[in-house]
Structure formats: structure tokens, C-alpha cells
């Protein structure tokens, strides 16, 4: 079976809207995904850390994925998160994503047990790949030790690439450590392993090093400017563009990131229900929210067309 073309460019780990009862809101979700694809995102890494994905069940995520496709979002733009602490959940979600035709999946290591061995992590990814058993699978590893507390080491990448070439497609590096991203580029990028920076702060450096783009939280609110740098990274303006998008990011991350993204969408989309987070996360308090909006407006920030 033919593989779909790999996604390159800017991907947003799409925030998930919830109702007052904490139920996922498929309608708002589809609307925001469509806005992102119109405004600079090449792809959507739905069900990432910023999506509160680990606060949702497999069944809830499958439903949202089906709603996206029914709502006209192309599967070729989708790289859903499918890694869970339970092997069986990872298999079920990955299988669903592949069967729906998603371009790839972004997979966390199992993250409950700490200090686990590379052998154990290898067996986890190998079991998922073999149980899914589908040549279309494009698996991106998700390295985010500050949250997962379980790392994807270079040794593990090497072993997976060697056993499953053509399936293991790349990585999102959210370590926040440029030296680690650089090491991934230097060791693996030439072999067709696509490295995405986990923040637009490293977008220019990642492109210069042979990477393929970034998958970034603030892609939820600032995709246009981030994509401009992606398209023009070889231009003389690139460093200036990098400084501008980094400055915007820093304004957002003065507040807790996920509720800040939601408050930004709520404000610029004129839709307060967006502020709700599912426990254990909580929305910004009013002074955090005022500070955020004041900072963004002071910087000339807009989200064109969002309020529709």
C-alpha cells in the first residue's frame, strides 16, 4: 500500500476544547483545526501534550479524529498522538489512526514507570508496530522528558530505525535542549529521519541543520508568522523573523502554556467557552488572563479571521 507524503513545515499540537461538563467539543475542535490549516499550519499534531490528550480516553480521541475527517480536515494533514502508558491503548489508537489514513502518528513512550530500560522501550514500540502491522504506518517518536520523564535515547532511535526502516519516520524533540536536537540531526537526519523542533524558538536552527520544521504549542495561535519563517528560512530576514516569533512565544509562556493558549483563542475568537481545561489543569485566573491579553495586544498580535 502506498504511503502518504510526509508532512513538513509547521504543525500545531491542537488544543482541545471542552464543555462545562469537561466533555470534548468536536464542533469547536473542527473549526479550530480548519482555521489552523488556513493560516499557516502544514499539519495538525492533534492529541499532543498541549491537547490535554492524556486527560482523554482512547474512545474520546477516536471520536474527535472521526469528527475531523467528517468536517473536511484531510487525513494527509494529521499526525495524531497515539502513545499511552498502556501498550494496549497505544496499539488501539495507532491502528485507528492508520486505518483512517493519517499521514503519521506521534508516539510518546509509556510514561508511568520511571527509569525503564531502552530494551523495555524498544519492546513497547516494536509491539505497537507489529500489532498494527500496516506498511502505511509513519511513526514519529516524541521526546519530551520534562513532562514524560522517560527519554527517547539515540541508542533507542538507532535500534528502531535499523529494525523498522520506512516505518520509523522521525522525531519531535521537546527536550528544550538544542544540543540534543542537533545530535538527532547530525546522527539521523540524512537517513530520512525527519527531525521537528518542539518549539519555534529552534525553528531556524533546526532548518539550518537539516530538520523539517517544528511542532509547537504556539502554533495554535501564531501559525502564520511561524510559517513565514519556515518558508523563508534561507532569506536575509530569517534571523529577524526568528526573533519576532520567539518574542511572541515568550509573552504566551509567561503564563502556564495550555490555559494561556486557550485564553488567547477565547479572547481573539470571542468565545469564552474555550477557556475550560479538563482536570488536572485549570484555566488562568483573571489577573494572569489580563496580563496575557495586554502583553499580546501591546505586541500587535492578532488572529485574523478567528472570530469569524
Q: Which of 4, 8, 34, 55 is close enough to bind a copy of itself by CB under 8 A?
A: 55
The span from the CA of 127 to the CA of 87, in Å, is 8
Q: Closer CB to a copy of itself, residue 50 or residue 227? A: 50
- Per-residue cell: 142: 516524541
Our finding on whether 281 is near a copy of itself (CB under 8 A) is yes
Closer to a copy of itself by Cβ: residue 42 or 215: 215
For a copy of itself, the binding residue among 40, 43, 109, 269 (CB under 8 A) is 109
Q: Does 100 bind a copy of itself (CB under 8 A)?
A: no
- Contact range with a copy of itself by CB under 8 A, out of 33-41, 47-55, 162-170, 292-300: 47-55
Nearer CB in complex with a copy of itself: 88/162: 88
Cβ(140)–Cβ(79) below 8 Å:
yes
Q: List the alpha helices (DSSP H) in the chain.
A: 26-38, 58-70, 87-99, 118-132, 145-148, 154-163, 178-188, 203-208, 223-231, 238-252, 257-268, 286-298
The 10 Å Cβ neighbour count of residue 270 is 11
Which C-beta is closer to a copy of itself: that of 113 or that of 243? Answer: 113
Residue from 16, 142, 160, 159 nearest 84 by CA: 142
Write the interaction track for a copy of itself spanning residues 201-240; mark x where CB under 8 A is met and - where it is not: ----------------------------------------
Nearer to a copy of itself, 17 or 269 (CB): 17
Is residue 123 a contact point for a copy of itself (CB under 8 A)?
A: yes
Q: Interface mask (CB under 8 A) for a copy of itself, residues 56-75, using x and -?
A: xxxxx---------------
Residue with cell 502513545: 83
Choice between 22 and 237, CB closer to a copy of itself: 22
Query: How many residues bind a copy of itself, per CB under 8 A?
Result: 40
In the chain, what are the helix, strand and coil shares in percent, each to the nearest 5? 50, 10, 40
Greatest CA separation for the chain: 53
Query: Does 120 participate in binding a copy of itself (rule CB under 8 A)?
Result: yes
Q: Pick from 35, 47, 111, 196: which binds a copy of itself (CB under 8 A)?
A: 111
For 143, phi and psi rounded to 5 degrees? -100, 105
Could you give the count of Cα atoms lying within 13 Å of 172 in the half-sphere of its Cβ? 32
Q: How far is the CB of 197 from a copy of itself (least distance, A)?
A: 21
Torsion, CA 203, CA 230, CA 103, CA 191, rounded to 10: -60
Residue 78 and residue 98: Cα distance in Å, rounded? 10
Point out which residues bind a copy of itself (CB under 8 A): 22, 49, 54-60, 85-89, 92, 109-114, 116-117, 119-121, 123-124, 127, 146-150, 277-282
Amino acid at each position: 500500500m502506498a504511503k502518504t507524503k510526509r508532512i513538513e513545515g509547521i504543525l500545531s499540537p491542537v488544543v482541545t476544547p471542552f464543555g462545562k461538563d469537561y466533555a470534548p467539543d468536536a464542533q469547536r475542535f473542527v473549526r479550530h483545526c480548519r482555521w489552523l490549516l488556513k493560516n499557516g499550519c502544514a499539519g495538525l499534531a492533534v492529541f499532543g501534550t498541549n491537547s490535554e490528550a492524556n486527560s482523554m480516553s482512547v474512545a474520546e480521541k477516536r471520536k474527535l479524529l472521526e469528527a475531523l475527517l467528517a468536517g473536511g480536515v484531510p487525513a494527509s494533514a494529521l499526525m495524531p498522538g497515539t502513545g499511552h502508558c498502556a501498550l494496549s491503548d497505544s496499539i488501539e489508537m495507532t491502528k485507528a489512526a492508520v486505518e483512517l489514513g493519517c499521514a503519521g502518528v506521534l508516539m510518546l513512550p509509556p510514561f508511568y514507570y520511571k527509569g525503564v530500560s531502552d530494551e523495555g522501550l524498544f519492546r513497547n514500540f516494536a509491539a505497537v508496530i507489529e500489532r498494527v502491522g500496516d506498511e502505511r504506518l509513519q511513526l514519529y517518536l516524541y521526546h519530551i522528558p520534562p513532562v514524560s520523564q522517560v527519554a527517547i535515547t539515540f541508542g533507542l532511535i538507532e535500534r528502531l530505525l535499523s529494525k523498522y526502516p520506512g516505518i520509523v519516520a522521525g522525531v519531535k524533540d521537546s527536550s528544550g535542549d538544542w544540543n540534543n536536537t542537533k545530535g538527532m540531526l547530525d546522527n539521523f537526519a540524512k537517513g530520512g529521519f525527519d527531525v521537528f523542533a518542539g518549539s519555534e524558538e529552534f525553528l531556524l536552527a533546526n532548518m539550518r541543520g537539516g530538520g523539517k520544521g517544528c511542532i509547537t504549542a504556539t502554533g495554535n495561535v501564531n501559525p502564520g508568522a511561524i510559517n513565514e519563517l519556515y518558508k523563508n528560512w534561507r532569506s536575509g530576514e530569517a534571523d529577524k523573523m526568528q526573533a519576532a516569533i520567539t518574542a511572541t512565544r515568550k509573552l504566551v509562556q509567561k503564563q502556564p502554556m495550555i490555559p494561556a493558549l486557550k485564553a488567547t483563542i477565547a479572547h481573539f475568537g470571542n468565545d469564552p467557552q474555550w477557556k475550560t481545561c479538563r482536570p488536572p489543569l485549570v484555566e488562568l485566573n483573571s489577573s494572569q488572563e489580563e496580563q496575557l491579553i495586554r502583553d499580546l495586544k501591546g505586541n500587535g498580535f492578532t488572529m485574523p479571521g478567528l472570530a469569524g
